[in-house]
Structure 1
Amino acid sequence: MAFNQAQENNTGTAIASMNGDVQQIEVYGAREHNLKNVSLTLPRYKLVVFTGISGSGKSSLAFDTIYAEGQRRYMETFSAYARSFMGGLERPDVDKIEGLSPVISIEQKTTSRNPRSTVGTITEIYDFMRLLWARTAEAFSYETGEKMVRQSDEQIVNFVLDNFNEKRLVILAPVVKGRKGHYRELFQQILKMGFLRARIDGELVEITPKMQVDRYKIHDIEIVIDKIVVKEEDRYRLSSSIQNALTHGKGTTLILDVDADKTHFFSRHLMDPATGIAYDDPAPNSFSFNSPYGACPVCNGLGEIQEISEESIIPDKNLSIRRGGIAPLGEYRDIWIFKQIEALFKHFKVSVATPLKDLPAEVMKVLLYGLEEDLEVNTKKGNYIIEFEGIVNFLKGQMESDSEGIRAWIEDYTQTTTCPECNGYRLKKESLHFKIDGKNIGEISVLDIKKLATWFNNLEDRISERQNVIAKELLKEIRKRIGFLLDVGLDYLSLHRPVRTLSGGESQRIRLATQIGTQLVGVLYIMDEPSIGLHQRDNERLINALKELRDLGNSIIVVEHDKDMILQSDYVVDIGPGAGIHGGNVVTAGTPEEMMNAGTTTADFLSNRRGIQVPRVKRTGTGEILRLSGATGNNLKNVTLEIPLGKMVCVTGVSGSGKSSLIHDTLYPILNTYFFRAKREPLPYKKIEGLEKIDKVIEVDQSPIGRTPRSNPATYTGVFTDIRTLFAQLPEAKIRGYTPGRFSFNVKGGRCEACQGAGMRTIEMNFLPDVYVPCEVCKGKRYNRETLEVRFKGKSITDVLDMTVEQAVDFFESQPRILRRIQTLFEVGLGYVTLGQQATTLSGGEAQRVKLATELSKKDTGQTLYILDEPTTGLHFQDIEHLTEVLHKLTNKGNTVLIIEHNLDLIKIADHIIDIGPEGGDAGGTIVAQGTPEEVAATGLGYTSRFLKEELSTSHYIE
């Protein structure tokens, strides 16, 4: 048991010195997960960092103990009635925690997958902007671009008297504008109201009781309210008629000048006098893409639509329809749609055996998009009608199918494109024609945060005095929140950016900026590696933001590996000394200065007594180059990327510089399509050369290895198949006739049927949250008794799943096939993870290392391109040391390892660096420098070179 008394730091806030205020958080006997009865005292109102190697127990102490207890106590403040709706929280395995404040957790795993959630909505900046546009924006016509006007009833009457004196006018109330229908009921209703005449499609007619119009044509219908010769003495009659017309026309009236045969438009609402287009009065939800009042009707506020791709429907134009030229239909067979196509082709005098490339353009258009009108065909057997909607329209109709299988089938022939109606702005066209300083809300939302801040600065000087009065407080709030985003290094994002496209670090920093904006005091914030995805240049701003949150009067605990964060904190807790069962103790705790003098692994790395060794001689590679030319997607500026093959290559640059656009969104989709015929479209580029020099591409990202508790490292790596085969070959299993399937918890036979192999049972509580309890039949073991009786070295299949990777390496040392896969998990620093650990509990970095281990365990050809996205995420210095050994091993076989990375420990050991920048957003998108780490450091170009030069000057070189 380690017990550490927190020491008072001179950087404390005024809040910390208040009389009677509790100055410490005291944890007694924490035993959650691998924690070994830890007792610890932490200072309040300080920035406290928990560090230690991966799996040592940092998150167990910070999140599963301190945060969990804070949440439980908060729930206990609710009434019993309120708690009954929320379910209870179990008390964490800890004796006592004293001095605990209300707790807010800011983790990486809580990123919203909702396509409607954007940076603007979760920071609430967009909500303030909606209110600003609703109250101060000026409306313009989407037809003429002219400013819209609004008139009172009296203004309309005065205008008519001044401009149409002694003229014959017909006062009309529009009731139908540009819609199909027969409108029989409408005409009957008009007669009941006492009106006898109407203007239909520009023609004045008498209304009859049985009157109707062509239901398939588009109509404009106006009620004739009055016919009048304008005179001053008839003001009352004119006023009554105009008010009547405005009432029936829902705020709009048309006045026909009979002599000039010209129609004039008037409206109580915003209106274009030239065309008669009227807008409803704007409200905040008029600018919301999550509201039917503001969302674009074509894309429903998503900004993108699923389009059927002609290229995917017809992948090979050399084929005929008979030979399967239309991919969704396959080869010709005796079904309805092929008979339709054959009859159609017979009319056009072409054959279904003709290659599609040789068909006339007119026939191809009809084949894909259908007939404009039904076709009447004359035959010896008589006349018949061909109705053909076209392959594209047929597939579009299937997109709305209730069948999940059909929708999945259609997805193979669709691609996501920007909505042509709203151009990706998500809003209906009326909403996009309300402008402030000449800009609509969509144009402002797509600006990066840096440009957004510039646009909002001094906006008062560019708008009218009336707008200024209304906007003053709103602008103050908007600027403040934009400032918080700038403070945490997110100046390259835009409010329009969907949250689901953000990295874990980015979404966490957004939540951090939002919390700073709330101005709460006396709160304990617990954060999970907020520096992930940040370049060293931006790290300082993040640290300052955390200190600002602290100085408001809050306590902050950060689980972190970043060197700068550790050194600038007020107090450091190092947990370890090892991972899993070898961890769970507080190794040392104190100020960063005290920490540096301790003899721990972390202290050795921080003080540079130990470091990752840099090879002085770089690999020469194969001499071949993979060249991508003319990449222009997102902020890329006609980039030509040259990747030397057979080397470890690092792509670096500040956040938002264009690394992901170049590698993940351009290069990888090109390679994936070439090798595996994937459907994802790359961002625009001109050409790619050198594809024949590699034989496959493997991307190892941080997405989960599975989204259900049934997925785990053993199943993902495939080692569980070998383990099940081993158990099936045991004498006991053979006697009983057990196959490998008997040892699977996903199929019937050997699993516990009470919980269907989940180990937990879900108890539905009707309107209360579901409760998960260990299965009372198998006691959480997943298998039935007969299966568990089969043992290898005294261990059942459940015992094996409960083993850590480190334990499994020793246990399976005599099984080379199994050992090879488990050994790679151990080599990438996952020795503390159990083979059966649920995929949903793995961090992004852990999931990535499981994938990396899976690829390492495969036999490679030495010509593979591996793409890794920040593999150091969640890794301690010592773990990075192990990871570099694995990456060296992979590259030494002749493979090319391409890594997007910010961590200098990994960047400095690369053979080749490609630095993108110089800034984020529009100021990035170019290759600033490239070459060996030493060459890039010597250029002095960009931000990476400066930090890299400093890092190399203190590094340990090996020959």
Structure 2
Amino acid sequence: MQNNITIRGAREHNLKNISLDLPRNKLIVFTGLSGSGKSSLAFDTIFAEGQRRYVESLSAYARQFLGQMDKPDVDEIEGLSPAISIDQKAHSHNPRSTVATITEIYDYLRVLYARIGEPFSPISGKPVRKMTVDQIVDAVLKRTIELHSDPKEIKKRKGANHNEIFVMAPAIVGRKGEYHQLLQDFYHDGFLEARVDGKIVSLRDRIPLKRYQQHTIELLVDRVPLGWPIEQNKGLQQRLTEAVELALERGNDVVRVILDDGSEMLMSTRFTCPEDGFTFPEIEPRLFSFNSPYGACPECNGLGTVDLFSDDPCEACKGARLRTEALHVFINNRNIVDVTAMNIQTSLDFLSDLTLKASDAKIAEPILREILSRLTFLVDVGLHYLTLDRKAGSMSGGEAQRIRLASQIGSRLVGALYVLDEPTIGLHQRDNARLVETLESLRDLGNTIIVVEHDEDTIAAADYLVDIGPGAGKHGGEVIATGPMPKVLENKESSTCAHIRGDKQIPYPKKRREESKTFLE
């Protein structure tokens, strides 16, 4: 592998046929007046060519989604790596994007809550426990006895099963596909019926399903006939027990029972409240995703507002964006929305001080490590005040750039070329050093970092400087000086170096403007 990035004959925008060599795996800072050609060289030449070559290396199928990129006006560039641009211009205006989703912190939080979160019934507020087969059978019989305590009061619903209890095994829940083979396998295993998207169908028939539509398939394990008296009916209890056991086996520990009035009971040997019968769906990461139909609030579809163009919170979820079940899974008395509503510093403190059981701590350790490393970085670059649920479109350019930088640090890529545009904009002076340390850590992973910058601290930390000038526009576009900081400082033609040495200064105004006594209405 080459040790340098070699550029020959760069003429993009105002660049004047410049040629230079840049060392790989170093922190390189481009300096110069605004409009001198720094961005033309960094973004429109080096980054553009690096990205173009990477896209061209992909298959024709992949390229059709990325579009054809124009080749920059340059004779030759050698030694390029796949390039990643982190500028201030393009940040997401997607109403679903937040600080937590962009940095992937939310992805890890979803895994954390799915693995060690404790569900509580939204009805009784009590912890939800696993049910045994006997408890499931008892609950079904108890409900059936209640229905038949006064036969005159039984109200048959649409699709009710007259004097039968349907025991069903959920096989597919809200997933895309045709599932011909699955349905055929059910039939070959001796099953005759299933409920597909809410309708009972015969497995003897071919069941056409749309490939790109979500479907729910429940295997009808048994139609258990009721026998009177229901109480102390050993035959009914035994057949129901056998049907429930088979349904749990086929339905991944979940069984759906449809009573003879048409009402349904969804129970599991995992998470069902024995007191009020409230059953959680499978607690998995997608339950906590407001971008998934499985986890999003059904009223607002995960937006958290009444509609796309409104700031009024959704009445169903109160702006939380998630379905009820997701909001009732807790870790240390906090649900996932409580954590994302915290600012970054507070969430870092909360997650650092979690009190967990030994078994949960072992599961959570690698997940928390990833979350805490990203939160620590965001604090280091002065973004401690942002909340994790802050929408991407409401952030400034500098904030958005540092947020995207956090996601790149978290990915821990090696051998890439990063191009950044003034990452210190909006930073307090005390945070500059921590940002520089972050850039150095990204470099130390084995990446080349190119930064377009005016900040003196960042310039001083550079391994290699490239000064573009001498002026702006048509008066710029030339390489004035290149090399390590001490060497470049000796250059007498560089305006940047003259200011760093103190030869030139920007004078402060002797008199401040008087404050206006009027204001605009």
Q: Shorter-chain TM-score category?
A: 0.7 to 0.9
Q: Deviations over 1:163-220 (max 9, x none)?
A: x9xxx981769xxxxxxxx977524xx239599xxxxxxxxxxxxxxxxxxxxxxxxx
Q: Deviations over 1:402-438 (max 9, x none)?
A: xxxxxxxxx8xxx622334323221122210011111
Q: Is the 8 A contact 1:169 1:228 kept in 2?
A: no
Q: Deviations over 1:242-289 (max 9, x none)?
A: 66689799536899xxxxxxxx99765633333333222212111111
Residues of 2 paired with 1:141 and 1:240: CA distance? 30
Letter in 2 for 1:555: T
- Structure 1 position 118, deviation (Å): 1.3
Letter in 2 for 1:694: F
Residues of 1 paired with 2:437 and 2:321: CA distance? 35
Count of paired positions: 448
TM-score by structure 1 length? 0.43
**1:49 equivalent in alignment to 2:29:** yes
Match of 2:504 among 610, 615, 618: 610
Q: Is the 8 A contact 2:266 2:279 kept in 1?
A: no
Q: Is the 8 A contact 1:449 1:482 kept in 2?
A: yes
Q: Is the 8 A contact 1:25 1:41 kept in 2?
A: yes
Q: Deviations over 1:441-494 (max 9, x none)?
A: 1001111121112122142xx222332343232222222332332333322222
Q: Is the 8 A contact 1:226 1:241 kept in 2?
A: no
Match of 1:126 among 101, 106, 112: 106
1:484 matched residue in structure 2: 377
SS in 2 for 1:514: helix
Residues of 1 paired with 2:435 and 2:30: CA distance? 17
Residues of 2 paired with 1:265 and 1:301: CA distance? 24
1:852 matched residue in structure 2: none
SS in 2 for 1:543: helix
**1:430 equivalent in alignment to 2:348:** no
Change (3 A) 1:521 1:194: closer
Q: Which has the higher contact order (CA 8 A, sep 6+)?
A: 2
Match of 1:601 among 474, 491, 495: 495
Change (3 A) 1:47 1:267: closer
Point out where structure 1 has 5 or more consecutive residues left out of the alignment: 1-20, 174-181, 196-222, 256-263, 307-398, 400-410, 622-644, 647-692, 697-959
Q: Is the 8 A contact 2:381 2:431 kept in 1?
A: yes
Residues of 2 paired with 1:613 and 1:580: CA distance? 24
Change (3 A) 1:493 1:91: same
Residues of 2 paired with 1:254 and 1:82: CA distance? 51
Q: Is the 8 A contact 1:445 1:495 kept in 2?
A: yes
SS in 1 for 2:306: strand
Change (3 A) 1:243 1:303: farther
SS in 2 for 1:271: coil
- Structure 1 position 79, deviation (Å): 4.1
1:191 matched residue in structure 2: 162
- Structure 1 position 123, deviation (Å): 1.5
1:527 matched residue in structure 2: 420
**1:292 equivalent in alignment to 2:297:** no
Q: Is the 8 A contact 2:164 2:259 kept in 1?
A: no
Letter in 2 for 1:271: T
Letter in 1 for 2:273: D
Letter in 1 for 2:323: K
SS in 1 for 2:311: strand
1:251 matched residue in structure 2: 256
Residues of 2 paired with 1:140 and 1:303: CA distance? 22
Change (3 A) 1:467 1:228: farther
Residues of 1 paired with 2:474 and 2:119: CA distance? 66
Bigger Cα Rg: 1
1:537-616 paired onto structure 2 within 5 Å: 537-599=430-492, 600-616=494-510
1:498 matched residue in structure 2: 391
Change (3 A) 1:239 1:451: farther
Change (3 A) 1:269 1:524: closer
2:279 matched residue in structure 1: 278
Q: Deviations over 1:280-316 (max 9, x none)?
A: 221211111111121122322112225xxxxxxxxxx
1:489-888 paired onto structure 2 within 5 Å: 489-599=382-492, 600-621=494-515, 645=516, 693-696=518-521
Q: Is the 8 A contact 2:26 2:464 kept in 1?
A: yes
Residues of 1 paired with 2:503 and 2:481: CA distance? 17
Residues of 2 paired with 1:478 and 1:494: CA distance? 15
Residues of 2 paired with 1:274 and 1:577: CA distance? 78
1:95 matched residue in structure 2: 75
2:175 matched residue in structure 1: none
SS in 2 for 1:291: coil
- Structure 1 position 139, deviation (Å): 1.0
Change (3 A) 1:265 1:545: closer
Residues of 1 paired with 2:430 and 2:165: CA distance? 76
Letter in 1 for 2:495: T
The percentage of aligned residue pairs carrying the same residue is 47
1:29 matched residue in structure 2: 9
- Structure 1 position 604, deviation (Å): 2.4
Q: Deviations over 1:104-142 (max 9, x none)?
A: 221222211110111111221111111221122111121
Residues of 1 paired with 2:55 and 2:25: CA distance? 24
Q: Is the 8 A contact 1:519 1:552 kept in 2?
A: yes
SS in 1 for 2:21: strand
SS in 1 for 2:404: helix
Q: Deviations over 1:563-619 (max 9, x none)?
A: 211111112111111211111111222222233333322122222332232234444
Residues of 1 paired with 2:448 and 2:500: CA distance? 24
Point out where structure 2 has 5 or more consecutive residues left out of the alignment: 149-154, 167-223, 249-253
Out of 120-129 and 487-496, give the one that drifted further.
487-496
Q: Deviations over 1:33-68 (max 9, x none)?
A: 111010112122211111111211111111111112
SS in 2 for 1:51: strand
Change (3 A) 1:85 1:510: closer
Residues of 1 paired with 2:56 and 2:438: CA distance? 32
Residues of 2 paired with 1:75 and 1:53: CA distance? 32
1:884-923 paired onto structure 2 within 5 Å: none
1:147-226 paired onto structure 2 within 5 Å: 147-156=127-136, 170=145, 185-187=158-160, 190-191=161-162, 225=226
Q: Deviations over 1:621-655 (max 9, x none)?
A: 3xxxxxxxxxxxxxxxxxxxxxxx45xxxxxxxxx
Change (3 A) 1:184 1:103: closer
- Structure 1 position 157, deviation (Å): 5.1
Residues of 2 paired with 1:558 and 1:266: CA distance? 57
**1:465 equivalent in alignment to 2:465:** no
Residues of 2 paired with 1:274 and 1:224: CA distance? 26
Letter in 2 for 1:237: L
Change (3 A) 1:100 1:157: closer
TM-score by structure 2 length? 0.77
Letter in 1 for 2:508: V
Change (3 A) 1:541 1:226: farther
Change (3 A) 1:172 1:572: farther
Residues of 1 paired with 2:391 and 2:436: CA distance? 25
Change (3 A) 1:245 1:573: closer
Match of 1:106 among 67, 86, 89: 86
Letter in 1 for 2:519: I
SS in 1 for 2:319: coil
- Structure 1 position 558, deviation (Å): 0.4
